[in-house]
Chain A
Amino acid sequence: MSLLHLAIISPFLLAILVPIVYKLFKQIHTGWFVLPLPILLFSYFISYLSITSNQQSVTNSFSWIPSLGIDFTAKIDGLGLLFALLITGIGALVVLYSIYYLDKKKEKLNNFYVYLLLFMGAMLGVVLSDNLIVLYTFWELTSFSSFLLIGYWYHREKSRYGAQKSMIITVFGGLSMLGGIILLYLMTGTFSISEIIAQSDEIFSHSLFVPALLCILLGAFTKSAQFPFHIWLPDAMEAPTPVSAYLHSATMVKAGIYLIARMSPVFAEHSLWLWLIAGFGITTLFWGSFSAVKQTDLKAILAFSTVSQLGMIMSLLGIGAAALHFETVEDGYFTVATTAAVFHLINHATFKGSLFMVAGIVDHETGTRDIRKLGGLMNFMPITFTLAIIGTFAMAGLPPFNGFLSKEMFFTGMVRVLEMDIFNLDTWGFLFPVLAWVASVFTFIYSMIIVFKTFTGKFQPEQLEKKPHEAPIGMLISPIILASLVIIIGFFPNIISNTLISPAQAAIMPAEGYVYDTHISFWHGFTPELFMTLGVITLGILLFATLPKWKGVYGLFPEKLALNRFYDSGLSGIQQGAHGFTRWYMNGSIRNYLVYIFTFFIVILLSTLFIKNAFKFDASNVSAIKFSEIVLALVIAVASITILFVKSRLTSIILLGAVGYTVALFFVIFRAPDLALTQLVIETISVALFLLCFYHLPQIKDEERMPFKATNAVISIGVGLVVTLIAFSAHSNKLFDSISQYYIENTYEKAAGKNMVNVILVDFRGFDTMFEITVLAIAALGIFGMIKLRLGGGKKNENK
């Protein structure tokens, strides 16, 4: 247990204390007690910068389940540290923001901060674990705490719907990821990521390689809201805004990106990896930005924009993987895509976090997030307006903000795809820059919608629930810090290039003996990317100005094909299907269940007999037949069959008695005196009992023959046949002699008795007898209880 482990676990420890603190200090907002922890952790992780900027890593381990190779190994390298800083840094800002956002009297703050701390710890665990099983454990914990946070206002139906949806989709992906992890273990024999990476060349041609790749990808795609699994993210916007800012823009949705980046050294050489990630990423980018334009809710626009930006990062990671196939890794010509991915990851966390907080402020101060009701807030909220301008312009990729730089690099990466001549990229590669460019136009449009529809235009006070005014300063601190970062990184990108980006890139694409040097220059000269950006801006402004004229395009897209419709109808279809199926086979009739049981009995035994070729008929070992025995056999057969056809129950009871007495006679013939005796007595008592029962049973009007049913007849003949066949085969297949010779020899010598059956019952195998006595006693007590006890339950049921 090292300090690093303690850092990962500390949020969990604090989560235990939060409810206590909440109860003890009602007057102080609980968030103030939580705030120091992420700040402390942030400064602790900052201290690792000196180690990771030299592209070194620190590994600490302690045993958890050593027998299964599962150790809690914490490893901090460039990639892990980048995420850890994002998690703790934005975590601190979100906690600060939430102190002003959530009312300490109206909200259940203890729940909120416990969930939030659980999430923070889980997320730190995901990015700092080197053991895949530990990573998976934390991974599911993030799904779980995200579920709790989305459903924080659990009295709202929409919150519950969103929480359930995100849970189903992310856990589906999580489980498939677990499958991938197990496949990796089968191939390499270890759960440690670094050891798996070391063996990546050997497993490349393994037959399980592709299934493992697909399973892991599915986990990453669902978590990071990639097409078509992005549908949970817009519904997760029902969570309180600090949660949306933290989980659904900056951290959790990037867990999938982290996973892709982390596993890149293992899988990146495979063409499927490149195509799937880049393909799904670019589709998500386009679809997300296209859908964002038609939304009317601020947070919904931001959600789709998050989806689209995640798609962008994903596609960059996919394209970056292609660089491995070229000799020119060193000059950074193709690796620029990976650099752009890491850079945009940081940028996105800064501007999207601040935009969510801005949306939260607007909501908090006006009572609505609907852009149709908002407008003209610029004069009331100048600071918020400024923050929104910075965030949205960065998102749209305008200079001088950081989004401009990452978008330029994005275009660079995409344009260079045209020069790749592997995996059919020379045929289809042109799609990447085209789609990227179109998506950027849409990104520009929705960014403008956010800022201009909210803050400029006509002010509609009658639509708003509250009189708008500027937010309290506490609420503005966090977005101000994030917006300043947007500007600082925009102007001085190189302060993070060698400290954060290069080490992270070294973790994604380890190249031996090569130190990545990512220098981000502000001005490239007149490159194609610059003209692409100019095109985006021109067309974007044009389309934004004419938005009302062409917005009808969205109406053309049939609602029926929407992915949410598929999800909803799929879910209810599964439920109804399962319900209908259960209704169909569990219809409450015992007869039906007996039919299933007997049918399975027949089918399974018969097929086993014939598949295994077990049927045998051997008459060499049988005893002779006497005429009297044939008569008895005929009597018992006729009697038992006649029961089936008699009308009266009395007759059937008497026939049953006849069967019983014939059995007793068989016992006599087959040299079993004790059995015959017992059988006679017991049959007499049984028949008497049956008659007693018969006497009390209904005055039978419908005392008639059982209606003949063909299925019943077939099943019963089948059962009889199976029993006879098995009896034949068993008798023809005697494998060894009976052990009874021992009993016969020792009855008198050892047990001092001459009746062997009795000696076996009370001496050799006395335990059987003891418990058979118990059975009788229980039956007697049960009968007594049934007759005597009247606890009123029966009567009450009748009265209902």
Chain B
Amino acid sequence: MEIVMSVVVGILFMSATYLMLSKSLLRIIVGTAILSHGAHLLILTMGGLKKGAAPLLGENGPYTDPLPQALILTAIVIAFGVTAFFLVLAYRAYQELGTDNMDKLRGTEGND
């Protein structure tokens, strides 16, 4: 299963990269969101999949590795915070500048 997951992660990274290289700001943010999904799944996969029960002491052991899960949980929250900030930034940028095209967002006159 780890091999399948590695390929899935590769596909997620690929689409994320392609989206981040596009012109529209919204698509770029979609790309970063997919990138973080890929990263989370990668951490989980590298920790080893399905080695045992959920990491709750009531279950019958052996247990799955709890450490990657804790790491991912932290990462999810941080990625969420950043994505939310980024989205509002995009929204405000559009309000002020009137475009979401990255080719047009190139600094102002005399500032280049």
The residues of A with any CB-CB pair to B shorter than 8 Å are 588-591, 594-595, 598, 619, 621-625, 629-630, 633, 636-637, 640-641, 643-644, 649, 652-653, 656, 659-660, 663, 666-667, 669-675, 678-679, 682, 685-686, 689-690, 692-694, 696-698, 706, 709, 712-713, 715-717, 719-721, 723-724, 727-728, 730-731, 738-740, 743-744, 747-748, 754-757, 760-761, 765, 768-769, 772, 775-776, 778-780, 782-783, 786-787, 794, 797-798, 800
**B 73-91 to A, binary, CB cutoff 8 A, 1 in contact else 0:** 1101110111111011111
Q: Name the residue on B nearest A728 (C-beta).
A: B6
Residue contact A727 to B45, C-beta cutoff 8 Å: yes
User: Would B73 and A594 count as touching, CB distance under 8 A?
Assistant: no
B residues with CB within 8 A of A: 1-27, 29-30, 33-34, 37-38, 40-42, 44-58, 61, 63-67, 69-70, 72-74, 76-78, 80-85, 87-92, 94-100, 102-103, 105-109, 112
Could you list some 21 contacts between A and B, CB below 8 A?
A622-B1, A622-B3, A633-B4, A640-B12, A649-B24, A652-B30, A669-B50, A671-B53, A682-B76, A686-B83, A697-B90, A712-B22, A723-B10, A731-B2, A755-B55, A755-B57, A772-B74, A772-B78, A775-B81, A780-B81, A787-B92
Given contacts A698-B94, A716-B18, A768-B74, contact A724 B67 (CB under 8 A): no
- Say whether B66 contacts A678, CB under 8 Å: no
Partner of B78, one of A669, A740, A775: A775
Chain A residues near B49 (CB-CB < 8 A): 623, 670
Find chain A residues with CB under 8 A from B70 CB: 757, 760-761, 765, 768
Q: Which residues of B contact A794 (CB under 8 A)?
A: 96
A653 and B26 alpha carbons, distance in the complex (Å): 9
Report which of B5, B21, B30 forms a contact with A653, defined as CB distance below 8 A.
B30
B40 touches A663 (CB 8 A): yes
Given contacts A623-B49, A640-B12, A672-B72, 17 further A-B contacts (CB under 8 A): A588-B112, A589-B103, A591-B102, A622-B2, A625-B1, A633-B7, A644-B18, A659-B34, A675-B44, A696-B91, A698-B98, A744-B66, A756-B56, A757-B55, A757-B69, A780-B81, A783-B88
CB–CB A730/B30 < 8 A? no
> How distant is the Cα of A709 from the Cα of B19 in the complex, in angstroms?
11
* Cα–Cα distance between A573 and B109 once the two chains are bound (Å): 27
CB distance from A350 to the nearest CB of B (A): 57
Chain B residues within an 8 Å CB radius of A761: 70, 73-74
Residues of A within 8 A of B85 (CB): 779, 782-783
Distance between Cα atoms of A685 and B33 in the complex (Å): 13
Residue pair B14, A706 in contact (C-beta under 8 Å): no
The 6 closest A-B pairs by CB, nearest first: A720-B14, A724-B10, A779-B81, A716-B17, A754-B57, A756-B66
Chain A min CB distance to B29 (Å)? 8
The verdict on A723 contacting B8 (CB below 8 Å), with A675-B76, A761-B70, A800-B108 known, is no
CB distance from A5 to the nearest CB of B (A): 53
Instruction: Name the B residues within 8 Å of A717 (CB-CB).
Output: 14
Across-interface contacts of A641 in B (CB, < 8 A): 11, 15
Q: Are A697 and B94 in contact (CB under 8 A)?
A: yes
Q: Is the interface of A mostly helix, strand, loop or mixed?
A: helix
Residue in A712, A731, A748, A775 whose CB lies within 8 Å of B77: A775
Q: Chain A residues near B67 (CB, 8 Å)? A: 738-740, 743, 760
A689: contacting residue among B17, B87, B102, CB under 8 A: B87
For B46, list chain A residues within 8 Å (CB): 727, 730-731
A783 touches B37 (CB 8 A): no
Contact status A625-B72, CB under 8 Å:
no
The residues of A that contact B94 with a CB separation of less than 8 Å are 696-698
Interface centre among A591, A685, A706, A757 (most CB of B within 10 A): A757
A686, B33: Cβ atoms under 8 Å?
yes
CB pair B4–A738 under 8 Å, yes or no, is no
Q: Decide: A693 near B87, CB < 8 A? Known: A622-B1, A623-B51, A672-B44.
A: yes
Docked Cα-Cα span, A539 to B45, in Å, equals: 94
Question: Which residue of the partner chain, among B73, B80, B98, contacts A686 with CB atoms under 8 Å?
Answer: B80
B23 lies within 8 A of A743 (CB): no
Q: CA–CA, A663 to B12, complex, Å?
A: 11
A656 contact set on B, CB distance < 8 A: 30, 33-34
* Docked CA distance A451–B22 (Å): 76
By a CB distance below 8 angstroms, the chain A residues around B29 are 690, 693
Contacts known (A595-B21, A643-B34, A698-B100); A682 close to B80, Cβ less than 8 A: yes
A798 to B108, CA, bound (A): 10
Assembly CA distance A682 to B80 (angstroms): 7
- Measured between C-beta atoms, what is the minimum distance from B36 to chain A in Å? 10
Roughly how many angstroms separate A675 CA and B4 CA in the complex, as a whole number? Answer: 20
CB <8 Å contact, A715 and B55: no
User: With a CB–CB cut-off of 8 A, which chain B residues contact A633?
Assistant: 4-5, 7-8
CB <8 Å contact, A674 and B21: no
A588 with B106, Cβ < 8 A, contacts A643-B30, A744-B55, A787-B88 known: yes
Q: What's the nearest-Cβ distance from chain B to residue A313, in Å? A: 53
Residues of chain B lying within 8 A (CB to CB) of residue A757: 55, 66, 69-70, 73
Q: Give min CB distance, A592 to chain B, whole Å.
A: 10
Residues A637 and B30 in contact in the complex (CB < 8 Å), given A622-B3, A756-B55: no
**A670 lies within 8 A of B108 (CB):** no
The answer to whether B50 touches A748, judged by C-beta atoms less than 8 angstroms apart, is no
Which A residues are in CB contact (< 8 Å) with B95?
A: 696
A752→B104 CA distance, assembly (Å): 57
Contact B81 A693 (CB under 8 A): no
- Known contacts A623-B49, A715-B17, A761-B73; is-contact A663 B41 (Cβ 8 Å): yes
A698 CA to B26 CA, complexed, in Å: 11
CB neighbours of B105 from chain A (8 A) = 590
Q: Do A727 and B10 touch (CB < 8 A)?
A: yes
Q: How far is the CA of A738 from the CA of B34 in the complex (A)?
A: 28
Are A589 and B81 touching (Cβ within 8 A)? no
* Bound-state Cα–Cα, A633 to B41, Å: 11
Residues on B with C-beta less than 8 A from A649 are 24, 26-27
With contacts A589-B106, A686-B33 known, is A783 near B84, CB below 8 A? yes
| Most chain B CB neighbours (cut-off 10 Å) among A619, A696, A748 | A696
CA–CA, A666 to B108, complex, Å?
45
CA distance A636 to B16 in the complex (A): 13
Of the candidates B37, B78, B107, the one whose C-beta lies within 8 Å of that of A660 is B37
Q: Say whether B15 contacts A716, CB under 8 Å.
A: yes
Chain B residue contacts of A756, Cβ below 8 A: 55-57, 63, 66
Q: Which of B3, B40, B95, B109 has the most CB of A within 10 A?
A: B3
Complex CA distance for A594 and B105, rounded to whole angstroms: 15
B82 contact set on A, CB distance < 8 A = 775, 779
- Select one of A589, A623, A738 contacting B2, CB under 8 A: A623
Given A641-B15, A659-B37, A787-B88; A672-B107 close (CB under 8 Å): no
Docked complex Cα distance between A112 and B102 (Å): 55
Is B11 within 8 A of A747, CB to CB?
no
Determine the residue in chain A with the shortest Cβ distance to B50.
Answer: A623
Chain B: CB-nearest residue to A765: B70
Alpha-carbon separation in the docked complex, A356 to B97 (Å): 65
CA distance A539 to B96 in the complex (A): 83
A656 to B16, CA, bound (A): 11
Within 8 Å by CB of B66, from A595, A760, A797, lies A760
Known A591-B102, A761-B73: A719·B54 in contact at CB below 8 Å = no
Tell me how far the C-beta of B108 lies from the nearest C-beta in chain A, rounded to whole angstroms: 6
Complex Cα gap A588–B105 (Å): 9
Q: How far is the CB of B98 from chain A (nearest CB, A)?
A: 8
